[in-house]
Amino acid sequence: MCLAASVVIGGPVEGQSRLRSEVDTTLITVGDRITLTVEVEHGADASVVWPDSLDLSPFEVLGARLRSTTTEGDRATSVADFSLTAFELGALEVPSFEVELLRADGEREVLRTDRFGIEVSSVGADETGDIREIRGPLAIPISPVRVAVWALLLMALGAALWAALRRWRDSRVPAAPVELAPPPRPAHEVALEALERLAASPLLERGEVKEFHIEASEILRRYVEAVFLVPALEMTTGEIMDGLERAEAPGEARLRLRRLLDQCDLVKFAKVRPDADGSGAVVDLGREIVELSIGWVPRDARAADVGLEQPAGPAVEDERERTAVVAPSGEGEA
């Protein structure tokens, strides 16, 4: 039995967003899988922001699969499949969760899935077997050989620490003159070269899809730290997007970065495995993000440039007038 529900948000039919969710069955046994499918219809200029993590207790999320977005005219459809299971008996409920829709102009729209009732039954028990007695805890025998090995390891560790301390004391010499390091390379050059190396790496050929997406995410996070001064390596995807919004980063670059980080998070945490084309598209998306933000100037630097272009104030003009009056008097005395 399959249940489906849909949520429609918006005004006219042409611009409205619609969320439809369904489960493939409402009756399972303990440990069986059910699939929750969430489909979002939206404008082609918007993108769906899937949750970084899901808590659908009493159900456990076994995995998620993000399908490729399909576009028809000015409408697009994004679909995600979530694999769930339960280890409790009785009538349970799949809770609702939020899905965000991010438009190109930065406006956010929140949609919610529906709740679904699921009946979980037992797989059956053998009532004919005898109840076994509870066994006591097993004693762990202490072996003299094991004690001797641990003693030798502790002695070796102590000797290594003592030798390291002596080498550190003997190697203390006056510090050499500090040589000025060459100026750092532009962040966009470093990021583009890193993306080229990733595209040429054999990770996808070896089936290391997760490692490929982790490396792509770290390249863009380092670029965000260098250009927008947002500590992206220590932030979640949502915190990064909030920091970029406060830094007034370009809107198109933020939109593409959100799509890239969402795909990397699904591969890393939800065990999604995109095909080769979908994984390779991450590199192209990263190049677009870097190229869209080349030449971006921080807000403080823009304010400083405006201040330098302002004309001299009244105090400066008064000082110039006093200098002009005093100069002729000095020449007469000479």
Report pLDDT digits (tens) over 139-185: 677 788 888 888 999 999 999 999 998 888 877 755 566 677 778 88
Domain 3-121 grouped into CATH 3.40.50: no
pLDDT of residue 175: 57
CA dist., res. 130 & res. 133, Å (int): 9
pLDDT per residue over 57-98, tens digit each? 999 999 999 998 899 999 999 999 999 999 999 999 999 999
Q: pLDDT digits over 279-320, tens only?
A: 888 999 999 999 998 888 776 655 555 554 444 444 444 544
Instruction: Please report, as a single letter, which amino acid is at residue 309.
Output: E
Q: What is the mean pLDDT of residues 36-50?
A: 93
Domain boundaries, the chain: 3-121, 187-298
pLDDT in tens, 224-280: 999 999 999 999 999 999 999 999 999 999 999 999 999 999 998 888 888 888 888
CA–CA dist 94, 84 (Å, integer): 9
Is the Cβ–Cβ distance between 235 and 243 less than 8 Å? yes
pLDDT higher than 90, residue 330: no
User: How much of the chain, in percent, has pLDDT values that exceed 70?
Assistant: 79
